[in-house]
Amino acid sequence: MEEEHYCMNCKCELRKPYIICKAEVCHSMTICVHCFSKGVIFGVHQNDHPYTVCRTDFPLFERTWTAEEETTLLDIMSDCGYGNWSDVAHRLRTKSQSECQNHYNKYFIDKPHDDLPHFKESERTVYPQPIIYKLCDDPPRYPENNDLSGYMAGRGDFTIEYDNFMELEIKHLDFDEEDEDSKMQLGVLDVYYDCMKERWKRKKIVRDYGLINIPKVQVASRRYSYTIKDLIDKLRVFITLVSPDEYCKYLEALHYERELKHDIKKLQSRRENGMTSMQQSKMYHILNSRRNVVKSKRHLMVDLLSHLKDETSCQTWLQRQAVLDNMSKGGLVVLPNAPRKTAPPLDISSLPGYEKLAETEQEICANIRLVPEAYVEFRNTLINECKKNGCLKLGQARSLIKIDVNKTRKLYDFLLTNGMINKE
């Protein structure tokens, strides 16, 4: 065990395996696996520092003896002494008396090793590589920045500064040794220097956080659009409290957390449906898609059967389904127009003039949805015109009565049938 027998974060007693931070500022700080798995940040330690895993579940000299058993054997031998193999085996528990004696004599007395064995480095070991910067005559500038209002990309400056007219307050200052207002003028300069500091602070924030880097802002907005879009605007007010790197890391951590939660919900849904492998998940997705197609077809059949009794509704439904089907196939099928739905008869029993009409006239007024007073007026107009000319054509009736042509035709046929007018 190392000098520190407890986790530097939660102060719990360490048990192998545990983590040792290798950052220079952390000075070999020890962290338990539980805290490390949560990515805790405390003191000077960050969750992106280099680290090593301290573990003893690997063999040192023999394949049947782990490093943990080797260190435990040496501790027990220092307590029990050489030759007391029954107590040694009893305390070690994983080995017999003969195994403890033979192993200790072989590797620590007969042929002791000066150094611990060296292990071959894994091919998966990743070493940090330095980033090589190449100098260029002119730094690359995005063309979008040239169109940014108020920003001069060539100079890296703004046309309008913070407190833009502050220079007007000092341009008339003239220092003279005998001037009594020199202290007041120095005070004005102090205010100007404070303004310069504030300008520098604002420019530094804009530069450090990349607020004028339009492509970066656009990429970030697209990246976080479906995970933490609702949080970015709320977190932006705290942007000056942390460094730019910490702010970006925090956004990325929130984004990763939302993605993990989404994946976990998806996996839980798959487990609820009895899936235990990705191959089963792919098959489930295919079968579920087929099932949805079959369900939609069943739904179409139910709709068709429900509209069979109504000819107009059935025709309208067939037209809609034909259009949707041919839009997906790229073709076009023209069906006959669906007839207009007939309006129900109008209730005219409470309208003025209803009692003066005959029963047949009451029926025609209700069917063509015409009020009694208007019917009497139109009837008298057509009868008078027929008496005047000796006959009345349908075209003449339509020119005399400015209402719907279908109503005019029904009214003309009714008067003609009842002998009130004649066509020839």
Reference 17, options 39, 2, 38; nearest CA is 2
**Contact indicator for 376, 390 with CB cutoff of 8 Å:** no
Q: Which amino acid is at 376?
A: V
DSSP codes joined into one string, 93-161: -SS-HHHHHHHHIIIIIIS--SSPPPPPPPTT-----PPPP---SS----HHHHTSTTEETTTTEESS-
Token pair of 326 as six digits:
């041919």
CA dihedral for 94, 97, 98, 102, sign (positive or negative): positive
**Contact indicator for 30, 23 with CB cutoff of 8 Å:** no
Looking at residue 153, its pLDDT comes to 67
3-state secondary structure of 212: coil
pLDDT tens for the chain, 424 residues long, are 445 578 888 888 888 888 999 888 888 889 999 999 888 888 889 888 999 988 888 888 888 888 888 888 888 888 888 888 888 888 888 888 888 888 888 888 877 766 666 666 666 666 666 666 555 555 555 554 455 667 776 677 788 888 888 888 888 887 776 666 778 888 888 999 999 999 888 888 887 877 777 777 777 778 888 888 888 888 878 877 888 888 888 888 899 999 999 999 988 988 888 888 888 888 888 988 888 888 777 666 666 666 566 666 666 766 776 766 666 555 444 545 545 556 778 888 888 888 888 888 888 888 888 888 888 888 888 888 888 888 888 888 888 888 888 888 888 888 888 888 888 7
Looking at residue 335, its pLDDT comes to 47
Task: Output 405-409 pairs: Cβ under 8 A, ≥24 positions apart.
Answer: 407/368, 407/369, 407/370
Token pair of 89 as six digits:
């085996």
Rg (CA), the chain: 47
Looking at residue 194, its pLDDT comes to 92
Give the H or E element holding residue 394: helix 394-400
What is the rounded distance in angstroms from the CA atom of residue 153 to the CA atom of residue 158? 9
Q: Which amino acid is at 275?
A: M
Q: Which amino acid is at 234?
A: K
**Contact indicator for 133, 81 with CB cutoff of 8 Å:** no
No. of helices (H) and no. of strands (E), the chain:
15, 5
What is the rounded distance in angstroms from the CA atom of residue 237 to the CA atom of residue 272? 42
**Contact indicator for 31, 8 with CB cutoff of 8 Å:** yes
Tokens 């003239």 correspond to what residue?
174
What is the rounded distance in angstroms from the CA atom of residue 290 to the CA atom of residue 296? 10
Q: Which amino acid is at 222?
A: R
Q: Which amino acid is at 20?
A: I
